[in-house]
Amino acid sequence: MTAEKKIAQKRLTLLQLAERIRNVSEACRHHGVCRSQFYEYKRAFQERGFDGLIDRPPIPKSFPNETPPECREKVIALSLNHPSWGPMKISDQLRLENVNVSPSTVRNLWIKESMETRYKRLLRMEEEKGNVELTEEQIRLLEKANPCFRERHVESPYPGYLLCQDTFMVGTLKGIGRVYLQAVVDTFGSFAFGKLYTSKLPETAVDVLYDRVLPFYEAQELKVEHILTDNGREYCGRPMIHPYQIFLELYDIEHRRTKVARPRTNGFVERFNRTVLDEFFREAFRKEFYPSVEKLQKSLDQWLQHYNYERPHRGYRNMGRRPIETMETGKAVKEQVTTKEAA
């Protein structure tokens, strides 16, 4: 006898005891069963006999109310076309197309497809951006949610193709004055450089490239091809007079500029500025007093070593890797591109 039939036999014994002593309450007390459960057993026994006392599977073998595949595809497609819409609006729009889907069904489909939040729908839409042509609304929402997607027009096929540079004011230090960070970030894998100065002159923008950036890429056997900056005075001026412009022309580096009053166009280095502020400067200033820029620069160099060689990144292209690992991968891509161009 199976376990299910043993349980059914106990229920049958309960019914027989109640009939023999003619007292339902006493029989239920003896078997530890409530009266409502007793009457369910009695009703099932009267309708189907002994088989009615055997527990049936709680989940039916068929799903008559399951959402048809074509309806499910329409819900997903409309959700990706309008990721900011809620389930009620999706349901109303589909009803206009003669597709009857309740808001709860839309919500359940989102959960099954891991699209229950607007952010997840944006990520899903970004994953499929290579297969579909994005609308203006989709582009606007993606730019708002993902700074990396915002910079898709600065796509880098390999390291050194495009670097972003920016001047970031660290703060005012006692006995030193204002301190500025000249930050440079490779858009391929977020490999970063930084050097501190007490002014934001064009010479400082040139110095960080000459002292830190170009020697590194020469050691990696890579060439810096383009640099993207804002329209600050340290970067822009008369071509044949401005030091920064002369330096880039001397090293055959193309200068690209962001849109006026649009700092988000330089999103890679702007995001790095926030990271270095949160993870280094704010902690360092609370732990130690820096009497000179040189001492602060020494601590910054140690943090940059950690940032580039030890700290995993979840950002664009890194996906949990360190920037130096992404750069090594990019060097192989660069060799493939060079081979194709030569062929």
Residue that wins the pLDDT comparison between 269 and 84: 269
Within a domain: 256: yes
311, pLDDT greater than 50: yes
With cut-offs at 50, 70 and 90, classify the pLDDT of residue 206: very high
Q: What is the CATH number of the domain that holds 205?
A: 3.30.420.10
Work out the average pLDDT over 7-35.
Answer: 86
Taking the model in full, what pTM does it have? 0.57
Q: What is the model's pLDDT at position 296?
A: 95
- For the chain, the domain total comes to 3
Do 322 and 176 lie in a common domain? yes
Do 115 and 201 lie in a common domain? no
- Which one-letter DSSP state was computed for residue 162? E
Work out the average pLDDT over 50-75.
Answer: 76
Do 247 and 338 lie in a common domain? yes
Within a domain: 306: yes
Q: Which range is most confident: 18-22, 215-219, 327-331?
A: 215-219
In the chain, which ranges are continuous DSSP H helix?
3-21, 24-31, 35-48, 69-81, 87-96, 103-112, 118-127, 136-145, 147-150, 202-208, 214-219, 243-250, 267-276, 282-287, 293-309, 323-342
- Counting residues of the chain whose pLDDT is more than 90, the rounded percentage is 32
Q: Which range is most confident: 18-27, 295-304, 311-320?
A: 295-304
Q: What is the model's pLDDT at position 152?
A: 46
Domain that holds residue 223: 155-342
